[in-house]
Homo-oligomer: A and B are copies of this chain.
Amino acid sequence: MAQKPSIPKGTRDFSSVEVSKRNYIFSIIKSNFEQFGFQPIETPTFENSETLMGKYGEEGDRLIFKILNSGDYLEKVDTQLLQEKNTKKLTSKISEKALRYDLTVPFARYVVQHQNELEFPFKRYQIQPVWRADRPQKGRFREFYQCDADVVGSNSLWQEVEFIQLYDTVFTQLGLKGVTIKINNRKILSGIAEVIGASDKLIDFTVALDKLDKIGEEGVKKEMLEKGISAQALEKVQPLFSFTGTINEKITKLEQLLQASSEGLKGVEELQFICNALSTLGLQTANFDLDVTLARGLNYYTGAIFEVAAPACVAMGSIGGGGRYDDLTGIFGLKNMSGVGISFGLDRIYLVLEDLGLFPEAVTTKPQALFLNFGQEEALYAMQSMVQLRHAGVRVELYPDASKLDKQFKYAEKKGIPYVVFVGDEELKNREFKVKNLASGEQKIVALAALTAMLSAN
C-alpha cells in the first residue's frame, strides 16, 4: 500500500508564496548587512560532534540532533555497553556528527580554523537553518533559520552604534515602524549585583523587576525579599523602581546608583557613548530605550545586550537580539577576540509582517502572462513571441496542453497570473495577440511590441 505522506513534527514545507515572502525578508536583511560592510560565509549543515557538544549546556546537548555513523556502526562498540542500554555513553560511539544548533559556535570554529586567511576585525553575516530537538509548539520549530551578523577582533563601541542603526534600517525598510530597540549592559547588571550585595541573586532580581508593570512596586519587592534579597539592598536600588524618563535621565540615575561599583560605572560610560552617538546620528523609525531588566544570555554577554521588541500593536515579543562577548573563540584556542553581534528572528518577523499586512503585493514572482494553448501551430507561434518577451525580461508561460479554455483560465486565476494571451488562428494570421486583464476583464488586440511594453509595466 502506498504510504500516506507526512513530514517530521516541528518541520515545515514552504509553498511558493511562503518561500517568496521569506526571501523578501532575507533579501532586505542581506542587502543591509552588506551595506554595513558585512560579508557572507556559510558553514556545513553538520559539524563534528565535539565542535558542538558541551557548548550549549546540558539542555543544549540533549537538544542537538545527532547523525548515526554510516556502515556497521556497532562493530567496534563494547557489547557490555549495549547490554546496559547506556544511551549516554553509547551516543558518542555511534554518532560522530551533529546538526548545527546555532550559527555562533560554527562561526567561532570558522574564525579559528581560518584565522590566517581572515582580515580582522572580521565582519561576517550568515543566514542558514539550525535544528533543535525541542518540543514543537506555536511559533517554535525544530528547523528554523537564523540571520546573524557579527564582528570579531575589535572592542570599538562604534560597532554597537552601527548594529543599532542596522536594526533601525532593516525594520524601516520592511515597513515595520515603531519597533523598540532595547539596550542594556552586562557591566551595569554586575554593578547592580554589587550594590545589592549578591551576584548570585541577579537573575532573581531582574526577573522580579521585569514584573513592575504587572504587579507594582510592592509586589516586586515582596518577590525580591522572598528570594533572599535584603531590605537594605532594596533601599539602595530604590531608583530602579521608578526608572522612567528619557534614556539620558535613566543614565543619570544609574550613574548615581552605581557610584560604588567601578564596573557598573564602566557600563554606564559605554552606554553613554552609544547614546550620544545615536542622538547625533538619529534613527529613522525605531525607538531606542534602556531596559535594565534585559538580561538575555547573561552567562555569555560581557558588554552591550540588545533586544528588539515588535511594535506594541502586535503581541509578539522579541524579534531580534544580540550583544557583546569578550571571548567567543577561546573554546577553540584563539584568545582575546572580542566580538559583538545581532540576530534577526525570521519566523517572528514573518508573522508580524503578515499580521500587519506589510508584505508588498509583488513579493511573489509569478508569471506576468499565460499564453493560452489553441493547438500545435498556434502554440509554436506563441512560443516564438515568448522567446522575445523573455529576452525583454518578462515572465511568461504557455499552457502546455490544448485543453478546454475554462480549464486554462482557471489555471491562470489559481496561479494569480494577471494577464492571459490568446493566440487563435485569427491572431496567428494577423501576427497579433489578444490580451486580457483578468482582474478588470478588459481585453485588447495588440502587436508584440505593445504586448511587451504592457507586460513589462505590471
Contact = CB atoms under 8 A, between A and B. Distances in A.
Interface of A: 1-8, 11-16, 19-20, 23, 34-37, 39-48, 50-51, 62-63, 65-68, 70-75, 77, 79, 82-83, 85, 87, 90-91, 94-97, 99, 109-110, 112-114, 117, 119, 121, 123-124, 129, 131, 133, 143, 151, 154-156, 158-159, 161-162, 165, 169, 277, 280-282, 330-333, 364-367, 373, 379-380, 383-384, 387, 390, 393-398, 400-401, 410-411, 414-415
A114 B320 CA distance: 32
Chain B CB count within 10 A is highest, among A15, A44, A121, for: A44
A13 B44 contact: yes
A367 B113 contact: no
Contacts of A23: 40
Contacts of A46: 8, 11, 65, 143
Contacts of A109: 5, 7
A375 to B, nearest CB: 11
A28 to B, nearest CB: 13
A74 to B, nearest CB: 4
Contact of A397 (B37, B114, B396): B37
B6 A151 contact: no
Contact of A82 (B8, B72, B83): B83
B332 A2 contact: yes
Nearest to A382: B158
Contacts of A384: 280-281
B113 A158 contact: no
18 contacts: A5-B113, A6-B113, A7-B48, A8-B44, A8-B48, A8-B97, A15-B114, A16-B41, A23-B40, A37-B397, A44-B143, A46-B65, A62-B71, A65-B68, A68-B95, A159-B400, A169-B390, A277-B380
A327 to B, nearest CB: 12
Contact of A331 (B2, B20, B129, B394): B2
A394 B31 CA distance: 11
Contact of A5 (B85, B96, B332, B398): B332
A70 B158 contact: no
A374 to B, nearest CB: 13
Contacts of A74: 85, 87, 90
Contact of A400 (B47, B67, B121): B121
A364 to B, nearest CB: 7
Contact of A73 (B1, B63, B87, B364): B87
Contact of A114 (B13, B50, B143, B162): B13
Contacts of A162: 383, 398
B40 A19 contact: yes
Contacts of A51: 3, 5-7
Contact of A67 (B14, B67, B112, B332): B67
Contacts of A121: 400-401, 411
Contact of A12 (B44, B75, B91, B380): B44
A87 B113 contact: no
Nearest to A77: B85
B5 A119 contact: no
A45 B77 CA distance: 29
A110 B42 contact: no
A19 B110 CA distance: 14
A5 B387 contact: no
A232 B367 CA distance: 54
B75 A70 contact: no
Given A3-B50, A169-B390, 8 more contacts: A3-B333, A5-B112, A16-B39, A20-B40, A68-B95, A70-B133, A79-B83, A158-B373
